[in-house]
Amino acid sequence: MAKTTPSRKTVLITGAAGSLAKRVIARLQGRYDVIAVDFRRKVETDAGIPSYLVELHKRGFEDIFAEHKIDAVIHIGRMFAHERDRLQRYNANVLGTKRLLDLARKYQVGQVIIHSTYMVYGASAYNPALIDEEAPLKASEVTQDLVDSVEVESLANIYLWKHPDLNITILRPCNVLGPGVRNTMSILLARPLVPVLVGFSPMMQFLHVEDMAEAMVLAFEKNQPGIYNVAPDDYVPYQQAVTECGCRKLPIPSIPPLLPRSISTALNWNAFFPPYMISYFKYPVILDGTVFSQTFGWKPKRNLNDIFSYYRKQKLAAKSAR
């Protein structure tokens, strides 16, 4: 085990196998003692970074807290809505987060950063644009597949006001994209053929995974507990994003609403067209990211074209390799 200098903080990062967590670790490494945790696999880490394969809602997780004096937790690890079934996701995400927060209390962790998602607001025809953090979370009204995401939020909110000593910061980013990102949107845009709903092209916001990593590190280092949207002030319709990423569109009939739902169920092989995404392909969820930008002095360094060009080039490379 690496020697810990008393002045150095120890930070536990969940979801360490993911591309966002890797980038956060890379930024913290050297200045903090980092502990990497993931439920998928034991992450290969640089020397001095202990790495654990553990499910948060299982017993082994507590041993990590007993073994290390953890000062802060950055909770990124999440089972995505296209992974496994609803019950398994509920256990991993909701019960896992609950356990994490309880352990954080028990072992007097001074700070917890929770990685949430813009999807908790729910995509609805009546959404105003530039949604504030105070807006109601309507995702579970739209689809049961996102109930766990909303539950994680409400849990974190309860702990946020009940236990101010945990210094909880909840971040709700827009779509995060970039090399290695395995969320639903990134997987979709990496494909050559992408479903779109005929006659619907909602506005969307995209963030490069490097900028999101930067945001998470800032949230950790500046420690201003609260709930924040993380999003740039640039906007593009979904169908244009699809084209910009070099994808061909697969038009799906959009009305009556039953039609896209049944098509999606039929086509959802390998998360090609997840049913819970239908409403997000139809209606916008545009965030107002002003509070985060101003509180933390954050501004994304990469623009939409930088983000999309990665997916474009990836497809060109695949084509020329064939």
Partner 1 sequence: MLSFGKLDLKEKALAHLVTPEIEHLVASIPKPVGSFGYDPWGYNEDQFKAALGAAKWLYDKYFRVTAHGLENIPRSGRVLIIGNHSGQLPMDGVLVGVAAATNPDGPRLARAMIERFFPTVPWLGNYLNALGGVIGDPVNCSKMLEMDEAIIVFPEGVRGSGKLYKQRYQLQRFGNGFMHLAMNHKTPIVPVGIVGCEETMPALVNLKPLARLLGLPYLPLVPSLLPLPARVYLNFGKPMQFSACANEAEVTERVEQVKAELRLLIDQGLQERTSIYR
Rounded Cα gap, residues 84 and 80, in angstroms: 8
Give the strand pairing for 203-204 and 236-237: antiparallel
Binders of partner 1 in range 183-212 (CB under 8 A)? 197-203
Report the residue number, 56 or 207, with the smaller CB distance to partner 1: 207
Report the residue number, 63 or 132, with the smaller CB distance to partner 1: 132
- Is 291 a binding residue for partner 1 by CB under 8 A? The answer is no
- Is 284 a binding residue for partner 1 by CB under 8 A? The answer is yes
Report the residue number, 18 or 122, with the smaller CB distance to partner 1: 122
Per-residue CA distances from 81 to 78, 143, 230, 254, 299 (Å):
9, 11, 20, 22, 28
CB of 194 to partner 1, least distance (A): 18
| Contact string 244-273 vs partner 1 (x = CB under 8 A) | ----------xx------------------
The total of other beta-carbon atoms located within 10 Å of residue 230's CB is: 28
- Is 132 a binding residue for partner 1 by CB under 8 A? The answer is yes
Per-residue CA distances from 145 to 25, 90, 275 (Å):
29, 10, 9
The conformational region for residue 61 under phi > 0 = left, psi -120 to 50 = alpha, else beta, is alpha
Report the residue number, 90 or 235, with the smaller CB distance to partner 1: 235
**Radius of gyration (Cα) for the chain, nearest Å?**
19
- Is 280 a binding residue for partner 1 by CB under 8 A? The answer is no
- Is 87 a binding residue for partner 1 by CB under 8 A? The answer is no
- Backbone φ and ψ for 234, nearest 5 degrees, come out as -140, 145
Binds partner 1 by CB under 8 A, chosen from 303, 316, 318, 319: 303
- Is 288 a binding residue for partner 1 by CB under 8 A? The answer is yes
CB of 319 to partner 1, least distance (A): 18
Binds partner 1 by CB under 8 A, chosen from 64, 95, 130, 259: 130
CB of 234 to partner 1, least distance (A): 4
Cβ-contact 270, 193 below 8 angstroms: no
Looking from the CA of 141 toward its CB, the CA atoms found within 13 Å total: 8
Cβ-contact 248, 219 below 8 angstroms: no
Site residues (CB under 8 A) for partner 1? Answer: 125-126, 128-132, 135, 197-203, 233-237, 240, 254-255, 283-284, 286, 288, 303-305
